[in-house]
Amino acid sequence: MFFPISGAHISPIYLAIVGFVIGILGGFFGVGGSFIAGPALRLAGLDWNFAVGTDLAHIVGKSVVAARRHRALGNVDLRLGSIMALGTIGGAEVGAQAIQMLKRAGNVNLVVSIVSIVVYVSIAIFMLWESRKTLRLEKGRAQRGLVKGGKSKKDYSAFGPVTRAIQKVKIWPMVALPTSGIAAISLWMILLVAFVGGLFSGFLGGGAGYIRMPSMVYVLGIPTHLAVGTDLFEIIISASYGTFSHAVKGNVDILIALVMHTGAVIGAQIGVIATQYFAGPKIRLAFVPLPLIGAAIVIYTIISGHKL
């Protein structure tokens, strides 16, 4: 099928399947899935600037579906999501401007490829270390009889001491997040986490849930299930802004996004239902291979220069 806006020939079945897979991942992990979608679009022949912008548009639609499902399950902290949206928008604009600079310099594909590989691999390594350590700690607690029956509904993290230290930073104004079980946390910490997420969103595409979801759990101390739902809610706002910004700069093929999204609708529903059957650390451990797959696709496109 020919997509006139980007001038690309891509199979709509390929796009729908990519959307379906990303939908499942998004519903389950609360991420936009750009670490798969960006490289998958690049592999199909789109330039990085189009892959980034189009992926953002597709993520808006996918997040609307998944966030509505999570809201029904009580997994969305609206106050946290609204605050984070402000920080994310600022970061996304800085990231989009950086893409424009690289586009003008003519090396957008190489630079974004290298940065994405470094980011994806780093996230995977960190989450593998943390989730395995947490599961080992939980097992130890169960063996010592601290957790009845060896299972706990509380979302433990091996990164807990660092999270508590961050929560103790008292930079005014402090905000309470009762839905997430946080009595007081500095507004600036939330905005900083959101800004960094937005920066990655604008630069590498997608909602940057691959960095924001772990940041919400490890830095802000949000329970994993709530981090998943709130991240999706926040992504609707920030990805809409990102889509607008990229569309104005000529980086969005909305027809490709619409086709991808048809697959994502079904996938997102499966993913959301699946979260009910897994504990937080196991969700985080299952997340580990995903950024690595994204990195592998990018490495493949750099080495071989092949496109589907």
| Long-range CB contacts (within 8 A, 24+) of 268-271 | 268/23, 268/24, 268/26, 268/27, 268/62, 268/65, 268/66, 268/69, 269/23, 269/27, 269/65, 269/69, 270/23, 270/24, 270/27, 271/23, 271/24, 271/25, 271/26, 271/27, 271/28, 271/29, 271/66
Taking CB under 8 A as the binding criterion, the range among 146-154, 257-265, 274-282, 295-303 that sits at the site for another protein is: 257-265
Please report, to the nearest 10 degrees, the dihedral formed by the alpha carbons of residues 296, 51, 274, 234 taken in order: 120
User: Is 274 near another protein (CB under 8 A)?
Assistant: no
Taking CB under 8 A as the binding criterion, the range among 80-88, 127-135, 158-166, 236-244 that sits at the site for another protein is: 236-244
How far apart are CB 78 and another protein at their closest, in Å?
A: 18
Distance CA 90, CA 33 (A): 21
Query: Which residue among 156, 244, 278, 300 contacts another protein (CB under 8 A)?
Result: 244
Q: What's phi and psi for 110, nearest 5 deg? A: -70, -45
How far apart are CB 168 and another protein at their closest, in Å?
A: 40
The DSSP code for 149 is G
Query: Which residue among 113, 131, 240, 275 contacts another protein (CB under 8 A)?
Result: 240
Query: Which residue among 128, 265, 293, 296 contacts another protein (CB under 8 A)?
Result: 265
User: Is 73 near another protein (CB under 8 A)?
Assistant: no
Residue ranges in 145-204 that form contacts with another protein under rule CB under 8 A:
none
User: Where along the sequence are the contacts to another protein (CB under 8 A)?
Assistant: 3-5, 12, 16, 57-58, 60-62, 64-65, 68, 240, 243-244, 247-248, 250, 252, 254-255, 257-259, 261-262, 265-266, 269
